[in-house]
């Protein structure tokens, strides 16, 4: 599926597939699910599948959407992509075909159209929507996400929805997007809560949007869900329909409920993401590493109650500049003022794959030793000069826990 595969290798594969085999783009088709109600506003929902998943595998999700919707909801499930692999070459043809098939089935041509993509389908769908803004009422990304920096300027209202147990679209990657949303909202764009809702559903993984065979990549990376498939799809449908109601402004009787629902998702995410944001900020924020400041205090050997004797500063540098950096220490009054330097290294992720860690792979710190601080700092202070780098990690992993509990937790997380 999209977020665990190398998008570059997939694009190469797709290109070769069409060039070598000279395949004519005409195989795609649409499975139509007619509305289950006879009244309400006519609305289209066209689904683009993930990699190696057929459109019909999303039929149960389509039914869940129709059951939750107050609209006369026409659903088109695009399917039969070449090699069962969604691709940008056929996607446009598939969307056009879906609209035509829905109209042939009885949908008015004036119906508003929502486009949804799961995983890799969502990745390619974003590109399509950019050139089809006028004909798209809204977009839904299931187990997919905006590229970094893309959210604020995206031209179409978009719901980003993922589960907290999604092993391919990981919650840490969605946290990065939610941080962008919070910034967008904070800059006098309160409508962002409803224009670009970023929703995390508890207990749901990457494969519960569809039924049937699960691709090997999903099996490899996904996390065991806490909820069964039907329950998961009901929750997915509830969030999706709230977004559609709010975007359309119809029906008016359900508008306030939908608005409140989306606001609740936003508030829940603020609390859910806070510890993740704290860890992001600990690595590096505004050119400084909070982790490095803590490390200097721990490595000083002073007990925590005497950390007020230390004033620690940090700057994050890299390359030649970091190599030439040297930590400094000077005494000001009864405090040791220490300047430290860090090189924070993140994994290469040019394709923005969620299975590549958002966290740093390495934080190298230049700081002062306990002996150097003890030599400069006057007063009857007790120092522990045998503090190790492992002690720093333990302090960050489990602040406030007893040594026994911390050692046990650290061993479980880090293997001793």
Over the stretch 60-114, which tens digit does the pLDDT of each residue have? 999 999 999 999 999 999 999 999 999 999 999 999 999 999 999 999 999 999 9
Q: Cis omega before residue 260 (within 30°)?
A: no
Q: Are 71 and 280 in contact (CB under 8 A)?
A: no
User: What does DSSP assign to residue 84?
Assistant: G
b/e 304-342 (16+ beta carbons within 10 angstroms → b):
eebeebbebebebbeeeebeebebebeeeeeebebbbbb
Could you give the residue range(s) of every CATH 3.40.50.1820 domain in the chain? 7-280
> In this structure, what is the dihedral angle of CA atoms 7, 9, 11, 16, given to the nearest 10 degrees?
-170
CB-CB neighbours of 27 under 10 Å: 14
- Position of tokens 């998702």? 265
3-state secondary structure of 274: helix
Q: Concatenate the DSSP letters of all residues of 393-405 into one string.
A: HHHHHSTTS-HHH
Half-sphere exposure of residue 27, counting CA atoms within 13 Å on the CB side?
A: 15
Indicate yes or no: pTM above 0.75.
yes
Give dist(CA 275, CA 253) in Å, integer.
37
Annotation: CATH topology of 7-280: Rossmann fold (3.40.50)
* β pairing state of 29-33 and 72-79: antiparallel
Instruction: Output the six-digit token pair for 221.
Output: 């990376």
Give dist(CA 273, CA 172) in Å, integer.
8
User: Which residues have a Cβ under 8 Å from the Cβ of 57 and sit 6 or more positions away?
Assistant: 49, 210, 211, 212, 213
Q: Are 376 and 334 in contact (CB under 8 A)?
A: no
C-alpha distance from residue 291 to each of 281, 313, 343, 363, 396 (Å): 9, 11, 12, 9, 8
- In a structure prediction context, what are the per-residue pLDDT tens digits for the chain, which is 416 residues long? 444 344 444 554 555 454 444 445 568 999 999 999 999 999 999 999 999 999 999 999 999 999 999 999 999 999 999 999 999 999 999 999 999 999 999 999 999 999 999 999 999 999 999 999 999 999 999 999 999 999 999 999 999 999 999 999 999 999 999 999 999 999 999 999 999 999 999 999 999 999 999 999 999 999 999 999 999 999 999 999 999 999 999 999 999 999 999 999 999 999 999 999 998 999 999 999 999 999 999 999 999 999 999 999 999 999 999 999 999 999 999 999 999 999 999 999 999 999 999 999 999 999 999 999 999 997 789 898 888 888 888 787 776 656 666 666 556 656 65
CB-CB neighbours of 267 under 10 Å: 11
Q: Are 344 and 316 in contact (CB under 8 A)?
A: yes
User: Which residues have a Cβ under 8 Å from the Cβ of 68 and sit 6 or more positions away?
Assistant: 234, 237, 238, 240, 241
């Amino acid at each position: 599926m999209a977020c665990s595969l190398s998008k570059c290798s997939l694009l190469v594969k797709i290109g070769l597939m069409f060039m070598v085999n000279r395949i004519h783009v005409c195989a795609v088709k649409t499975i139509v699910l007619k509305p289950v109600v006879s009244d309400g506003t006519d609305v289209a929902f066209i689904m683009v599948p993930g990699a190696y998943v057929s459109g019909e595998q999303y039929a149960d999700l389509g039914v869940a959407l129709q059951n939750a919707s107050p609209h006369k909801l026409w659903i088109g499930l695009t399917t039969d992509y070449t090699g069962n692999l969604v691709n940008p070459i056929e996607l446009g043809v598939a969307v056009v075909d879906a609209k035509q098939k829905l109209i042939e089935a009885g949908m008015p041509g004036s119906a508003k159209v929502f486009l949804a993509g799961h995983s890799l389908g969502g990745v390619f769908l974003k590109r399509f929507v950019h050139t089809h803004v006028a004909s798209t009422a809204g977009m839904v990304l299931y187990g997919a996400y905006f590229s970094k920096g893309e959210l604020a300027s995206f031209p179409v209202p978009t719901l980003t929805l993922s589960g907290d147990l999604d092993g391919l679209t990981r919650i840490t990657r969605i946290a990065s997007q939610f941080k962008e949303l919070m910034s967008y909202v904070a800059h006098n764009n309160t409508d962002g809560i409803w224009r670009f809702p970023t929703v995390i559903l508890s207990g749901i993984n990457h494969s519960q949007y569809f039924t049937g065979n699960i691709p090997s990549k999903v099996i490899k990376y996904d996390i065991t869900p806490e909820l069964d498939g039907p329950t998961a799809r009901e929750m997915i449908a509830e969030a999706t329909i709230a977004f559609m109601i709010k975007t359309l402004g119809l029906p008016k009787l359900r508008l306030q409920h939908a608005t409140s629902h989306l606001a609740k998702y936003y508030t829940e995410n603020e609390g859910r993401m806070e510890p993740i944001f704290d860890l992001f900020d600990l690595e590096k924020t505004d050119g400084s590493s909070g982790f490095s400041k803590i490390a200097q205090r721990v490595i000083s050997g002073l007990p925590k109650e005497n950390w007020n004797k230390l004033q620690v500063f940090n700057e994050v540098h890299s390359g030649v500049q970091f190599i030439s950096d040297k930590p400094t220490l000077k005494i000001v009054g009864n405090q040791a003022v220490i300047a430290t330097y860090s090189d924070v290294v993140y994994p290469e992720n040019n394709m923005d794959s969620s299975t590549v860690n958002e966290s740093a792979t390495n934080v190298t710190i230049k700081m002062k030793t306990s002996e150097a601080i003890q030599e400069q700092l006057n007063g009857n202070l007790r120092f522990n000069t045998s503090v190790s780098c492992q002690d720093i990690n333990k302090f960050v992993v489990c602040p406030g826990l007893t040594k026994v509990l911390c050692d046990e937790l650290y061993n479980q997380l880090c293997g001793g």
